[in-house]
A and B are shown apart, each in its own frame.
Chain A
């Protein structure tokens, strides 16, 4: 077994517990695993940012937004978007190293089952789509890949019009950008949006808005990283 990130060989300790029933193979070596920061403890109840306040200033501002206020019930993220995760996500998404998903699949599934324990029963997952051009470029949609990890059915209910990469825009540009999403299949169930990174929250709120307009009662967001 080799680490998915640094390709070092991982030597698994064998003890009486694992001798007959081997433990699941680790995907990352201990030193890479230690560089991932799970979000735990006090956080903003709306966006999962680590803070002592119950609602962070950014989320308070969102409450006064003319069109996007109240679009999202809340967002839950799994990891802090630190330098190491930035590197891994960049390699996964932009270099297209699909299998790196396995590095955080278990944590992504576990956190989902904790946060959405009640909600997931009658909700449907909707991964944030890529534009067709971007999908051809990357050859996979990272949000869909994440949704597949979860044991709840997902539906490609949205389409996206091609625009410049979000990651290349400033916060101001992002907030001012037009809504790129359209609803393909209207849903009348609660929706949990799945995406890789929550940065400003604009993308997720845009998606939530079009879903709500087409009859969806409540929209949540579940993301891998909180930027």
Chain B
């Protein structure tokens, strides 16, 4: 009966009770580096780069503990690595290793296959001794008043067990600088911190910045294909996917862009993020566009919030101009921008700015680029397109940043995380369903990022206002209002 209730309960909320607690320091011999390499990791055998005899001796001496990898319940299975319980994610395999047919998890197979006959391994040996520095953060820049306020709140939450804080900061508020102090506070206590973000490009961009700011801390950057999988890291900067390899590892967790794809869409990433932190850990969420469930909790007073309504350069956010075009769908079907676009283009206030054009689909991005090429060629403007299926994506974005060409046509992949100093932003067909409220706010936030050119024009071309458009404009105006009031 007890097991039935337990099983039924775990259907709704996954439990993490199965994660073993590290044992007392044992007398068994082991390599000191392995404590920092494996502490807090939940791995399959293939991910542990130890030879068989060493591994076996570690297992006998309980430095590693084996944990059954897939829970079997009355209602089905749950994978302990990714937390999925969807029936289609579990397929049977006639396994040659154990000569039996059992299930494996299809959901997290890209990170190495979890077989029901093979356990997950968790480090239960002595915890590593992370360095306790007197002064971890060596960044000496200045924070604005709003940033300072948020930074103080973050420090307070980070050092409070089980605290949760939503940092609602506009696009271009300077979020990275605001978390420095909070991270430093934990590192100075010899604790372990993680900064998770949904996108690998952001990890690649952040690691060198943090290495400069925290020169004496072991920092590990983790993303698919990164080469630092086995280096120790007191401070881990990882994609949210990499959290699938952690359990009860961190004393503090900062999740950047909590509303972004794929974190927002994939329940297994939330499962992993919750498992990766210790039960007493503090959690900080950073976002410019919180989703419904977070807003609800904010309104109900269940989630502490700190607002940063002004960009670091102190100027308000550019408010989008809405431009109705009756013929929009017809024009786009011919891969033509609407007339109104050309009218606007000819009389925009700063023709020297680069132009970022967002379109709803990859196909349209490519075809529209071809049409516009002819148009812009006469005025000597150069144009390129970039989308998720593009192999030269990173390179083209870098070229645009270096002002190697003037106009970039793109899809929602560039909606966040990228900064171009001086651009005007246009959305063609802003009413399309891929542009939800968060996307529209983020896209509008690409303009006016630089203190040298803190304004920028944002135009939404649409053929009928959608709820998302109205809400996005409202939310930008609300933030500007909040910023004026402060």
Contact = CB atoms under 8 A, between A and B. Distances in A.
A96 B94 contact: no
Contacts of A99: 91-93, 106
B110 interface: yes
Interface centre among B92, B96, B115 (most CB of A within 10 A): B96
Contact of B97 (A97, A98, A139): A139
A105 to B, nearest CB: 13
Contacts of B104: 96, 98
Contact size range, A? 10 to 19
Interface in A99-129: 99
A6 to B, nearest CB: 12
A168 interface: no
A7 B104 CA distance: 16
B118 to A, nearest CB: 9
B93 A98 contact: yes
A98 B97 CA distance: 14
A70 B13 CA distance: 63
B96 A141 contact: yes
A3 B110 CA distance: 16
B224 to A, nearest CB: 13
A2 interface: yes
Contact of A95 (B92, B94, B113): B113
Contact of B95 (A91, A95, A97, A139): A139
Given A2-B88, A96-B104, A99-B91, A135 B96 contact: yes
A141 B97 CA distance: 11
A138 B104 CA distance: 13
B416 to A, nearest CB: 24
Nearest to A140: B96
Interface in B86-129: 88, 91-97, 104, 106, 109-110, 113, 115
Contacts of A135: 96
Contacts of B94: 98, 140
A97 B113 contact: yes
A96 B88 contact: no
Interface in A136-176: 136, 138-141
B96 A98 contact: no
Contacts of B88: 2, 7
B91 A139 contact: no
Interface size bucket, B side?
10 to 19
Contacts of B96: 135-136, 138-141
Given A2-B88, A98-B91, A98-B93, A139 B115 contact: yes
Contacts of B92: 98-99
Nearest to B46: A137
A97 B115 contact: no
Contacts of A97: 91, 106, 109, 113
Interface in A1-31: 2, 7
A98 B106 CA distance: 9
> Which of A91, A95, A139 has the largest count of B CB atoms less than 10 A from its CB?
A139
Contacts of B113: 95-97
A140 B113 CA distance: 13
Contact of A139 (B93, B106, B109, B110): B93
B343 to A, nearest CB: 38
A84 to B, nearest CB: 13
A145 B145 CA distance: 65
Contacts of A98: 91-94, 104
A96 B109 contact: yes
Nearest to A91: B109
A95 B110 contact: yes
Interface in B297-322: none
A138 B94 CA distance: 11
A138 B113 CA distance: 10
A18 B91 CA distance: 27
A54 to B, nearest CB: 38
A99 B113 CA distance: 13
Nearest to A2: B88
A99 B94 CA distance: 10
A221 B76 CA distance: 41
A95 B97 contact: no
A47 B419 CA distance: 53
Nearest to B106: A97
A140 B94 CA distance: 7
A95 B93 contact: no
Contacts of A136: 96-97
A151 to B, nearest CB: 18
Nearest to B93: A98
Contacts of A2: 88
A141 B106 CA distance: 18
Contacts of B115: 139
A140 B106 contact: no
Contacts of A96: 93, 104, 109, 113
A140 B93 contact: yes
27 contacts: A95-B110, A95-B113, A96-B93, A96-B104, A96-B109, A96-B113, A97-B109, A97-B113, A98-B91, A98-B92, A98-B93, A98-B94, A98-B104, A99-B91, A99-B92, A99-B93, A136-B96, A136-B97, A138-B96, A139-B96, A139-B97, A139-B115, A140-B93, A140-B94, A140-B95, A140-B96, A141-B96
8 residue pairs, one from A and one from B, having the closest CB atoms = A99-B91, A98-B93, A96-B113, A139-B95, A139-B97, A135-B96, A139-B96, A95-B109
Given A140-B96, A141-B96, 5 more contacts: A96-B113, A98-B91, A98-B104, A99-B91, A99-B92
Interface of B: 88, 91-97, 104, 106, 109-110, 113, 115
